[in-house]
Amino acid sequence: MTGPLAGLHVVELATEISGPYAAKLFVDLGAEVTKIEAPDGDPLRRWGPFPGGVADPERGGLFHYLNAGKSGATLDLARPDDLASVRELIARAHVLVEDFAPETLDGWGLGRDELERLNPNLVALRISAFGRCGPWRQRLATPLTLQAASGWISARDPDRPPVQVGARIGEYVAGAYGALGALTALRLPPAGRVREVDVSQLEALLSTLPYPMLMAQRMKMLGLPPNLRSAPMLGVVRAADGWVGINCLTGQHWLDVCAMLGLPEYGEHQIAIMMGGPERDEFFGKAEPLLARQTVAELVELGQALRIPTAPVNDGATVLDCPQYAERGFFVQAGGPGWSFQRPGPPFRFSKTPVARPGPAPRLGMPPARWAADARSPGTTEGPRPFSGLKVLDLTTFWAGAYLTCYLGAFGADVVKVESIQRPDGHRYSGAFAYEGDDWYERSPIWQGTNLNKRDLTLDLTSERGLEIVRRLAADADVVVENFSPRVVEQFGLAYDALAALNPAVIAVRMPGYGLQGPWRDYVGWALNFEQTSGMSAVTGYPDGPPCNPQGPADPIVGVHAGVALLAALEHRRRTGEGQLIEIAQIEVAACVAAEPVIEYSMTGVVSPRRGNRRRGYLQGVYPTAEDGVWVALSLPDDGRLDHDAFDELVAGWTGTQTAAMVVKSLQEQGIPAEQVVTGERMYDGDLIGAQLDARGYYEEFVHPITGPHRYPGWPLRITAGPTGHHRSAPPTLGQHNDEVLRGLGLSADEIASLRAGRVIGERPLGA
């Protein structure tokens, strides 16, 4: 076996997507996974898609994607002999992955105490709807109601119900966090007890939003509506042959779009158009006919030539023809004798430890087999936290990279974040407004929420002195992380080869939007572009409406996958002393969690329509209540006896006469999963999800030097026999640690003063 995690043994007792996806990521890294199935098999075997649309549990495309390369064992835990086989596998494993409701395994004699008797060195990854503690631990849930409770269901049309994110994308998220948490726990020294990683699917979804609770608090403080949301401009618009996303991130982008369309007179009206009303209707009345005359490819090429974040809105068919995916060979052939399909490849690429393409998925009915490779126990940290002693140089901007380094700092790494007074991190301006005073750039709640646990250093990298200092930091770092477009760090001479010349053991994590190679390597983009390019947007929305953006979860999802890859590379370095380059192309991570549409098209030639709030196998939807603008989501199994349209009409007629609280209480008491659709200003609310989040300590309060105390969201996992708490320190101010970091490099007070006088370092942006 090859790969950075070769010799790691994983037992999977999980079904559907979340648990199997966590185990899939271990396979992608070279670990050996034994998947245990009940005699009737993982229900995902019956989901499809199937070749030619003909159901066959051995040819389900989504099952094969998630389970390729795993060994199989079909065992009935109710039979003593089979249970003994399961216990034997667990006794020899490093990791157990399970996604049953809390205490389910206890009923089979596999509770925590028994696991400790079997294998006290085990890491048990346990994924459940709300986590294994708190008042909601046994609460009923479905993927739709979890999206409702976490803020993933969003208003798209004022005349229609808010709508979920499609293609079961949310179900992958907890699995990715689970893999990250399990690899983190493996770094803790065994203490004679199971290290348990408790992942909440609710918190996993909540953690991928751009901190709506912090933004809502900030809007209240400024006297603005707390749930004010403006649509990105231009958003998803129709071209001559499909849909295209034009995603203005700055005022300059807006001016450039207006110039591109020949409508410069609207350049000064961006805010009014974003907020809706007659200005918006007038602008789009002129813009839409102009856009409809050009193809998607023409608009993407033109927009990118002007450095406007522009992307195709791909579906399961067009994503396969996307030039960037095609040239990079990202989608790979899979299947078996007489049938095949295309699926995403791994979400990460390693320069020194590539993993061979996994073999087929296990067949149902297989007996348990012995582990194929000798066990190789992973290394552990010598400090009190999983990343104690790890030195991280953070060259990131905005969210995806900063999310990863925030996590590393939370669990013990020394993270030095580099900005400059000439060009601070652009995320500082998200939700901050210049009229608030001289320190307005310190007030962004979104920047703060992603940059706890770090020391902040400003360096002008266009100066020789600044570059010399950052090279000294890189020479002493274990990890260097960046997520700019490829040419940025290359222009500064900080690409991997240059870093390795300074420090052969360094691990460089590069997180470009489109990848380091390919015809689109230098395209500009942010989360919405990657959601659109990968197919995430095409599966979200009403069946008769346009594609809709999932509202930005791609950034943290990318950061989590980068963390999984980094921890594997650290294990390889421990064994060999070798550093390496890790490439995380953000469009590839997004495609990995939006896999089903491309699998379906390659198997059947069909691009399924958007499903709104429906899902096969359920009668479900989002329905109005007697409260203005308040909605509820509910789900129950579909036994085929009711027409869904008639069901919707019946349910909406009832919910429209009730408060949301009454609907949820009544249905939950009857065993029907239901939740209120939560918005940002209600995410601290004890009457809704707040009590559950508080019981699990999801929010932690820190005092920011400028904006004072805030409750910041943590991570959607708890490691028992691990660190308590989510964060270690408040987010820093610009250049807050200049003197501290530079003194640590041996610079004298006079040298530091000279750097400050020359504006190589500083504590305020130039011009502020």
Q: Which residues are catalytic?
A: 555
Nearest residue to 8 (alpha-carbon basis) of 381, 376, 379: 376
Residue burial 643-669, b: 16+ Cβ < 10 Å; e: rest: eeeeebeebbeebeebebeebbeebbe
| Alpha helix (H) residue ranges in 628-677 | 644-655, 660-669
Q: How distant, in Å, are the alpha carbons of 253, 271, 300, 591, 740 from that of 232?
A: 11, 11, 17, 22, 40
Give the Cα separation of 194 and 112 in Å (integer).
7
3-state secondary structure of 645: helix
3-state secondary structure of 234: strand
Residue type, 722: G
Give the Cα separation of 157 and 161 in Å (integer).
7
Q: For residue 660, how far is the Cα from the chain centroid?
A: 29
What's the distance, Cα to Cα, between the start and end of the chain in Å? 56
Residue burial 370-386, b: 16+ Cβ < 10 Å; e: rest: eeeeeebebeebeeebb
332 close to 357: Cβ distance less than 8 angstroms: yes
Which residue(s) pair with 336 in the sheet?
339
Structure tokens, 221? 């403080």
3-state secondary structure of 422: coil
What residues contact 190, with CB distance under 8 A and at least 6 apart? 120, 121, 380
Q: Scanning the structure block, which residue is given the tokens 């962004």?
A: 444
Q: How distant, in Å, are the alpha carbons of 141, 205, 289 from that of 635?
A: 8, 18, 41
| Radius of gyration of the CA atoms of the chain, in A | 25
51 close to 65: Cβ distance less than 8 angstroms: no
Q: Cβ atoms within 10 A of the Cβ of 282, count?
A: 14
| Alpha helix (H) residue ranges in 267-385 | 270-274, 278-291, 296-305, 318-321, 323-328
Give the Cα separation of 125 and 22 in Å (integer).
9
The helix or strand, by DSSP H or E, that contains position 455, with its residue range, turns out to be strand 455-458
| Alpha helix (H) residue ranges in 58-159 | 61-67, 80-91, 112-118, 143-150
Q: Cβ atoms within 10 A of the Cβ of 706, count?
A: 13
Give the Cα separation of 527 and 247 in Å (integer).
9
| Secondary structure (DSSP) of 490-554 | HHTT-SHHHHHHH-TT-EEEE--SS-SSSTTTT----HHHHHHHHTTTTTSS-TTS------STH
Give the Cα separation of 739 and 144 in Å (integer).
50
Full 3-state SS string of 591-619: HHCCCHHHHHHHHHCCCCCCCCCCCCCEE
Structure tokens, 41? 């098999």
Q: For residue 366, how far is the Cα from the chain centroid?
A: 34
Instruction: Give 378's DSSP letter.
Output: P
Q: Cβ atoms within 10 A of the Cβ of 339, count?
A: 17
